[in-house]
Chains A and B, each alone.
Chain A
């Protein structure tokens, strides 16, 4: 158990819709990162938030956006869903001044 939870566990959407995925971290974990893992691939970095500010972003378009809240929860929002957005979305949190990332169980998104 990593203490990181994600909701929902599974989600089905249609192309063009919008989706919000949620992550809840442990107290004191003020850095959260989001990753996208397509089937058979390693996770790809989407973005990272530190103390409610985005402080790093991978090669993902602006329709992928996020928020981090003071209560150590965070959101990943994806607008205008495309078929290729179908993947497992993972969040990972890190305690201040540490390097170990604790991953949640993921949300599996299917876009039809």
Chain B
């Protein structure tokens, strides 16, 4: 059974810092790994999707990497801004039902 874990659960950084969010999964048989952003009380916004055959994806200040063999993915945020404050969720797509399996998220707070 696939399990997804995110560390840390919460993170507070000053504006301008570069930071890394971590995600680990127990079953390497995934189709892809996705990172989402969730603002308080809101739905999910897709940030990056890494196919199982890829190693990384980049979008603006965001870079996500995937290492299937070790069951890990990282989300790198460069030059963080207060507007980046949100909960970041990673999710693995796999299994017989093709559903997303989510971690509990990392709550990020960027202080001005």
Show the binding face of A for B, using Cβ within 8 Å: 2, 6, 33, 35, 40-45, 48, 55-58, 88, 90, 92, 99-106, 108
Docked-complex contact B49 and A99, CB < 8 angstroms: yes
For the complex, give the distance between the alpha carbons of A37 and B103 in Å. 11
Chain B interfacial positions (CB closer than 8 Å to A): 4, 31-32, 34, 36, 41-46, 49, 51, 89, 91, 93, 96-105
- Residue of B42, B91, B98, B100 touching A106 (CB-CB under 8 A): B42
Q: Report whether A56 and B102 are in contact in the complex, using a CB–CB cutoff of 8 Å.
A: no
Chain A residues with Cβ under 8 A from B43's Cβ? 2, 6, 90, 103-106
Q: Is there contact, CB below 8 Å, between A90 and B49?
A: no
What residues of chain A lie closer than 8 Å to B42, measured between beta carbons?
105-106
- Interchain nearest-CB distance for A47 vs B (Å): 9
